[in-house]
Amino acid sequence: MVFDYDLFVIGGGSGGVRAARIAAGYGASVALAEEYRMGGTCVIRGCVPKKLMVYASSYPDAMAEARAYGWQASCESFDWPRFRTTLHAELDRLEGVYTRNAEAAGVTLYHQRAQLIDPHTVLLADGSRLRARHILVATGGTPWLPEKFRNLGAMTSNEIFLAEKLPRSILIIGGGFIACEFACILHGLGVEVVQYYRGAQILRGFDDDLRAHVAAEMAAQGIGLQVDTDLVDLIRLDDGRFAATDTRGARREFDHVLFATGRVPNTFGLGLEAAGVKLAASGAIEVDAYSQTSVPSIFAVGDVTDRINLTPVAIREGHAFADTVFGAKRTPVDHSLVASAVFTRPEAGAVGLSEEEARQRGPVTIYMTTFRPMQSAFVGGQGRVMMKLVCDRDSKRVLGCHIVAPAAAEMIQLAAVAIGMGATKADFDRTVAVHPTMSEEIVLLRTPVCSD
Active site (catalytic) residues: 435
Please tell me the pTM assigned to this model: 0.95
> From CA 352, how far away is CA 373, in angstroms rounded?
25
Q: How large is the average pLDDT for residues 160-182?
A: 96
Mean pLDDT of 141-152: 94
Residue 387 scores a pLDDT above 90: yes
Kindly report the CATH number that applies to the domain delimited by 346-451. 3.30.390.30
Alpha-carbon distances of 168 from 171, 187, 308, rounded to whole Å: 11, 10, 35
Sheet holding 398-405, edge to edge: 340-342, 347-352, 398-405, 385-392, 364-371, 450-451
Check pLDDT > 90 for residue 368.
Answer: yes
Q: CA angle, 221 as apex, 217 and 223 as ends, to 5°?
A: 95
Contact 110, 33 (CB under 8 A): yes
Predicted confidence at residue 252, as pLDDT, reads: 97
Q: Which CATH architecture has domain 5-141+264-326?
A: 3-Layer(bba) Sandwich (3.50)
- How does 395-410 read in b/e, with b if 16+ C-beta sit within 10 Å? eebbbbbbbbbbbbbe
Question: Is beta strand 141-143 parallel, antiparallel or unpaired with respect to 169-173?
Answer: unpaired
Question: What pLDDT score was predicted for residue 263?
Answer: 95
Average pLDDT over residues 285-292: 98
- pLDDT of 334 reads 93
pLDDT at position 378, please? 96
pLDDT-based confidence at 75, cuts 50/70/90?
Answer: confident
Whole-number Å distance between alpha carbons of 33 and 28: 16
Domain(s) labelled CATH 3.50.50.60 in the chain stretch across: 5-141+264-326, 147-261
**Residue 1 in this model has a pLDDT that exceeds 90:** no
Query: What pLDDT, on the 0 to 100 scale, is given for residue 413?
Result: 97
Q: Mean per-residue pLDDT for 256-270?
A: 96
Which pLDDT value is given to residue 22?
A: 98
Q: Which pLDDT belongs to residue 113? A: 97
- Please tell me the predicted confidence (pLDDT) of residue 99: 97
Average pLDDT (338-349) is 97
Mean per-residue pLDDT over the chain, rounded: 97
Give residue 145's pLDDT band: very low, low, confident or very high (50, 70, 90). Answer: very high
Q: Which of 177, 173, 171, 172 is nearest to 210 (CA)?
A: 177
Question: What topology does CATH give the domain 147-261?
Answer: FAD/NAD(P)-binding domain (3.50.50)
CA–CA gap between residue 390 and residue 206 (Å, rounded): 13
Q: Please state the rounded mean pLDDT for residues 46-72.
A: 96
What does the pLDDT read at residue 76?
A: 83
Crossing angle of helices 47-57/177-188, nearest 10°? 40
**pLDDT (0 to 100) of residue 74:** 85
For 200-236, what is each residue's pLDDT tens digit?
999 999 999 999 999 999 999 999 999 999 999 999 9
What mean pLDDT is predicted for residues 106-125? Answer: 97
| pLDDT the model gives residue 91 | 97
Q: What residues contact 80, with CB distance under 8 A and at least 6 apart? A: 163, 165, 166, 189
Shortest CA distance to 225 belongs to which of 236, 238, 234, 216?
Answer: 216
* Cα–Cα dist 130/117, whole Å: 10
Once rounded to an integer, what is the mean pLDDT over residues 368-389?
97
Mean pLDDT of all residues in 419-425? 98
Residue 153's region, left for phi above 0, alpha for psi from -120 to 50, else beta, is left
